[in-house]
Amino acid sequence: MQTKRLLKDRIASKLMLLLTVSSGLIVFVMAFGLYQRSRPILAIKPLSELLFSTSWHPLRGEFGFFPFIMGTLWVTGVAVAIAIPLCLLTAIYLSEYAHRWVREWTKPLIDLLAGIPSVVYGVWGVLIIVPLIKDYVAPFCGTFSSGYSVLAGGVVLAIMVFPIIIHVSVEVFRSVPYEVREASLALGATKWQTVKHVVMRKALPGVIAAIVLGLSRAFGETMAVLMVAGNVAKVPSSILDPAYPLPALIANNYGEMLSVPLYDSALLLSSLALLLVVLFFNIISRVILIRVERSIQ
């Protein structure tokens, strides 16, 4: 009887290990599949030409991803620039200043932001952010804009990454030992001086990890950006210019690719690039969080 129980336990353990390894390998299987489908265009055109050419004319066999890469970087950069100060100040307030009932009421609202479908953010951006930029922001800057721009995409993305950065930052701040705060206050430092010079310094690696996680989330977002960024295959020169990020390129053109030679391969190459970038960001953030946990322990 004892041998049978041990055998069942060993089988269950091996089965769970197999499932865990299989789940982790899915990402690499996806990357390998995308690479295999991208090989036709890589065999014909050098990678440097694909990445740095500004000419996107699939009917003529020209697949320059540079405008889409720059569009992705512009929109993501604006989103992170907007999100970082707002999220950090919110996280500091919730972890250091807010009463318990404020935290309890605020957390479900932040979770609600994370659960809203991206298409809802896109519709909200079209109805609110785009007209605001067209009628007020662009005239204030002395220029014209249709409203569908890098700024519109950045604002929508910033709101979408709020929950990730805030939640991780709050947990990192709360993991800082309370004795460190007491020591700073005992030396005569004010509450803000303690937060700024002690808590922030101790939690800085974890905050960086939170920002990197938010960056990876923003980098791969599709629907909301597609609806408000303008989708013009041109390198933006300002935040009021339209942009065409890589995820929007894939979503807009995937259904039309079968009739154009190499279109399939080009779009799947862009998908592979997105996958690798997001994977890289997640690995970096995870490494930083592990180091934070070890330093605190």
Q: Is residue 72 part of a domain?
A: yes
What DSSP line would sit under 159-180, residue for residue? HHHHHHHHHHHHHHHHHS-HHH
pLDDT, tens digit, 9 for 90 and up, residues 248-265:
888 887 766 666 778 888
Q: Is residue 59 part of a domain?
A: no
Identify whether residues 143 and 24 lie together within a single domain: no
Q: Is residue 57 part of a domain?
A: no
CA distance to 172, 190, 202, 208, 209, per residue, from 177 (Å): 10, 17, 10, 19, 19
Given CA atoms 247, 251, 257, 258 in this order, what sign does their dihedral have?
positive
**Count of domains in the chain?**
2
Q: Residue 89 corresponds to which amino acid?
A: L
Structure tokens at 43: 């065999």
Contact 210, 197 (CB under 8 A): no
Identify whether residues 97 and 9 lie together within a single domain: no
Q: Is residue 196 part of a domain?
A: yes
Q: Is residue 237 part of a domain?
A: yes
Max Cα–Cα distance, the chain, nearest Å: 84
pLDDT computed for residue 296 by the predictor = 55
Mean pLDDT of 23-49: 84
Boundaries of domain holding 151: 68-296
Contact 267, 68 (CB under 8 A): no
Worst-scoring range by mean pLDDT, 25-29, 119-123, 218-222, 272-276? 218-222
Q: Is residue 54 part of a domain?
A: no
pLDDT computed for residue 132 by the predictor = 92
Task: Answer whether residue 21 shows pLDDT above 70.
Answer: yes
pLDDT computed for residue 110 by the predictor = 83
Identify whether residues 212 and 99 lie together within a single domain: yes
CA distance to 167, 177, 208, 289, per residue, from 295 (Å): 20, 11, 15, 10
Residue 293 confidence class, pLDDT cut points 50, 70, 90: low
Q: Is residue 75 part of a domain?
A: yes
What is the overall mean pLDDT for the chain? 83
What's the CATH number where 79 sits? 1.10.3720.10
Residue 106 confidence class, pLDDT cut points 50, 70, 90: confident
Structure tokens at 239: 């935040």
pLDDT, tens digit, 9 for 90 and up, residues 154-169:
999 999 888 888 988 8
Percent of the chain with pLDDT over 90: 6
Identify whether residues 131 and 236 lie together within a single domain: yes
Helix axis angle for 263-296 and 150-175, nearest 10°, is: 30
pTM confidence score: 0.83
